[in-house]
């Protein structure tokens, strides 16, 4: 299933008010991991209250111990401050990177805005080197826009 076919699926999942928001986010993570072959770990981090740190809300993929990430640390922490997409074709070439698993080769992090404020992000790890294109960025921006509507 390509990005265009996934978009209505994402929308349907997010608009299902019979489930909690976290459950809906988790189902979106699962959908993306199941249908995009180079998405191996998919998760949502959000700003942890008033603290200058991110907290992992839900994810699918290998278990991680990085459920709290201080702003500025790693790819995720940098995006919390920069408000910009961060595409990492080769994680080993990054100095400020938090490794979750040695099998991860690349990563993409897209900030999530609510009323113009950077409140979180979608984070994807891949075991494929350099797989992400602008199509991934546009698709994940769409996902985050839809998520913002239910927060």
Give the angle subtended at the CA of 37 by the CAs of 82 and 151, to the nearest 5°.
45
Which of these ranges, 22-30, 32-40, 63-71, 138-146, lies near ligand SME under the rule CB under 6 A? 63-71
Of 2-10, 68-76, 110-118, 143-151, the segment contacting ligand SME by CB under 6 A is 68-76
- Smallest CA-to-CA distance from 55 within 22, 32, 17 is with 22
Comparison of 75 and 112: residue with beta carbon closer to ligand SME: 75
Q: Can residue 14 be called a binding residue for ligand SME (CB under 6 A)? A: no
Cα-based torsion angle of the residue sequence 138, 130, 88, 60 in order, rounded to the nearest 10 degrees: 70
Binding mask 115-134 for ligand SME (x = CB under 6 A): --------x-x---------
Closest CB 66 distance from ligand SME, rounded Å: 5
What Å distances lie between residue 146 and 1, 80, 81, 114, 139, CA to CA?
19, 19, 22, 10, 11
When asked if residue 40 is in the footprint of ligand SME (CB under 6 A), the reply is no
Residue 74 engages ligand SME in binding (rule: CB under 6 A): yes
Q: Candidates 11-19, 31-39, 70-78, 131-139 — which segment interacts with ligand SME by CB under 6 A? A: 70-78
For the chain, how long is the longest CA-to-CA vector?
43
Q: In the complex, which residues of this chain contact ligand SME (CB under 6 A)?
A: 41, 43, 64, 66, 69, 74-77, 97-98, 100, 107, 123, 125
């Amino acid at each position: 299933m390509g990005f265009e076919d996934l978009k209505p699926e994402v929308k349907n999942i997010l608009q299902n008010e019979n489930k909690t928001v976290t459950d809906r986010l988790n189902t979106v993570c699962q959908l993306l991991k199941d249908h995009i072959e180079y998405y191996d770990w998919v998760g949502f981090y959000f700003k942890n209250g008033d603290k200058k740190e991110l907290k992992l809300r839900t994810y699918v993929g290998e278990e991680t111990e990085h459920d709290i990430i201080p702003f500025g640390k790693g790819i995720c922490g940098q995006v919390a401050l920069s408000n910009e997409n961060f595409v990492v074709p080769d994680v080993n070439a990054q100095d400020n990177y938090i490794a979750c698993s040695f099998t991860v080769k690349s990563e993409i992090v897209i900030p999530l805005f609510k009323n113009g404020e950077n409140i979180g992000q979608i984070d994807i790890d891949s075991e494929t080197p350099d797989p992400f294109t602008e199509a991934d960025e546009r698709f994940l921006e769409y996902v985050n826009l839809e998520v913002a509507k239910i927060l």
